[in-house]
């Protein structure tokens, strides 16, 4: 028997994680493995994202994959042989870590079919999501679990019966890497009304320095909008374009943004991914002290080298 959303007391119970990108920026590491499986310290990036969804109350997670699906689905499944070996050795610590990844949530998989863009990937989730609001989490953005964002977004969705996107201020020269929002202030300092959205604008076209970071709480009306989309930037069906239709008043309900000021780690390119590993590494209980000492030593060596 399935549980109706009302009876769980939560308005958003499903999360969709698009994970069909080719990961070309990480080749050859991603030749036979999805980029979402690249580790950050000791967990694949996708596990942090599933944990974030589960921590915000979403136990039903749909991962929209491309090729290389097996690696991802294996990660969220149990591994009887490995578990038996760890059990035999009495290595309960590692056994717990192995269990943790398969017990986080009910993880479902769907193939995108064709790589036609983020809007298309989200549209593919329609049958699974049905007529409910749902969250979308992009794997290239990791949000520090100490700085809750999704819970706040769901709160705003519930209060205002609105679609909600996560926004973050970025330097002007980086706005062309993101969806960008035109906004009006509200009485809540961390909430803005979104009046338009543009995908990856040039600095001259950008309506603000507020970038869409990869967290969305969407109402089911988005699916009809996606169905009517024309290809946008890069010839792809852009989620930003679908959201712009709602933001400019052509939907049932408005779009709001939650302005995030917490810790976010970009893992979408090599340098950011290395930085994310270091930032989370120095905060890691087991590795932090050793890594911090090493980073300080390295910084001193690099400074000396630079002044030579």
**3-state SS assignment for residue 180:** strand
What are φ and ψ of residue 52, in 5° steps?
Answer: -60, -45
H or E stretch including 197?
Answer: strand 191-199
Query: What is the closest distance, in whole angstroms, from the C-beta atom of residue 243 to ligand G1P in the complex?
Result: 9
User: Judged by CB under 6 A, which of 178, 237, 260, 265 binds ligand G1P?
Assistant: 178
Query: What is the closest distance, in whole angstroms, from the C-beta atom of residue 218 to ligand G1P in the complex?
Result: 14
CB-nearer residue toward ligand G1P: 268 or 281: 268
User: Judged by CB under 6 A, which of 56, 141, 210, 226 binds ligand G1P?
Assistant: 141
CB 230, CB 109: distance < 8 Å: no
Query: What is the closest distance, in whole angstroms, from the C-beta atom of residue 169 to ligand G1P in the complex?
Result: 13
Site for ligand G1P, residues 211 to 270, rule: CB under 6 A: 211-214, 238, 240, 268
**3-state SS assignment for residue 92:** helix
Query: What is the closest distance, in whole angstroms, from the C-beta atom of residue 180 to ligand G1P in the complex?
Result: 8
Nearest to 4 by CA among 124, 106, 156, 132: 132
Question: Distance (Å, rounded) from C-alpha 2 to C-alpha 62?
Answer: 16
CB-nearer residue toward ligand G1P: 162 or 242: 242
Nearest to 46 by CA among 35, 56, 62: 35
Site for ligand G1P, residues 265 to 304, rule: CB under 6 A: 268
Question: Distance (Å, rounded) from C-alpha 5 to C-alpha 29?
Answer: 40
Query: What is the closest distance, in whole angstroms, from the C-beta atom of residue 39 to ligand G1P in the complex?
Result: 20
Q: Counting contacts by CB under 6 A, is residue 166 touching ligand G1P?
A: no
User: Judged by CB under 6 A, which of 49, 61, 122, 138 binds ligand G1P?
Assistant: 138
User: Judged by CB under 6 A, which of 140, 218, 255, 257 binds ligand G1P?
Assistant: 140
Burial class for 222, CB neighbours closer than 10 Å (0-12, 13-18, 19+): buried
Please state whether beta strands 134-137 and 191-199 pair in parallel, antiparallel, or not at all (unpaired). unpaired
Which residues neighbour 268 within 8 Å (Cβ) at sequence distance 6 or greater? 25, 140, 141
* Window of 86-94, 136-144, 183-191, 250-258 that interacts with ligand G1P by CB under 6 A: 136-144
Question: Distance (Å, rounded) from C-alpha 123 to C-alpha 257?
Answer: 21
CB-nearer residue toward ligand G1P: 50 or 166: 166
CB-nearer residue toward ligand G1P: 72 or 136: 136
CB-nearer residue toward ligand G1P: 13 or 240: 240
What are φ and ψ of residue 258, in 5° steps?
Answer: -100, 120
CB-nearer residue toward ligand G1P: 38 or 138: 138
- Enumerate binding residues for ligand G1P (CB under 6 A): 118, 138, 140-141, 178-179, 199, 211-214, 238, 240, 268
């Amino acid at each position: 028997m399935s549980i109706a959303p009302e009876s769980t007391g939560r308005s958003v119970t499903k999360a969709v994680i698009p994970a069909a990108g080719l990961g070309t920026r990480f080749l050859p590491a991603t030749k036979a493995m999805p980029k979402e499986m690249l580790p950050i310290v000791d967990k694949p990036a996708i596990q942090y994202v599933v944990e974030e969804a589960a921590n915000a109350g979403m136990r039903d997670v749909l991962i929209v994959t491309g090729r290389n699906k097996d690696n991802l689905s294996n990660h969220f499944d149990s591994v009887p042989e490995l578990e038996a070996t760890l059990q035999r050795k009495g290595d309960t610590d590692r056994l717990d870590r192995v269990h943790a990844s398969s017990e986080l949530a009910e993880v479902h998989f769907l193939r995108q079919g064709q790589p036609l863009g983020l809007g298309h990937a989200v549209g593919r989730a329609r049958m699974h999501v049905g007529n409910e609001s749902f969250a979308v989490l992009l794997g290239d953005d990791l949000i520090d679990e100490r700085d809750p964002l999704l819970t706040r977004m769901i709160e705003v969705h519930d209060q205002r019966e609105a679609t909600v996107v996560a926004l973050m201020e970025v330097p002007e020269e980086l706005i062309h890497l993101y969806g960008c929002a035109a906004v009006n202030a509200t009485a809540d300092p961390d909430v803005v009304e979104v009046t338009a959205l543009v995908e990856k604008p040039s600095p001259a076209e950008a309506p603000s320095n507020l970038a869409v970071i990869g967290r969305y709480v969407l109402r089911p009306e988005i699916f009809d909008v996606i169905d009517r989309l024309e290809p946008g930037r890069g010839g792809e069906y852009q989620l930003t374009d679908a959201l712009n239709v709602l933001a400019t008043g052509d939907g049932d309900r408005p779009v709001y943004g939650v302005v995030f000021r917490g810790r976010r780690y970009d893992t979408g390119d090599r340098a950011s991914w290395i930085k994310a590993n270091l930032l989370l590494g120095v905060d890691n209980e087991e590795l932090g002290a050793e890594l911090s000492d090493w980073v300080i030593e390295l910084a001193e060596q690099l400074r000396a080298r630079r002044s030579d």
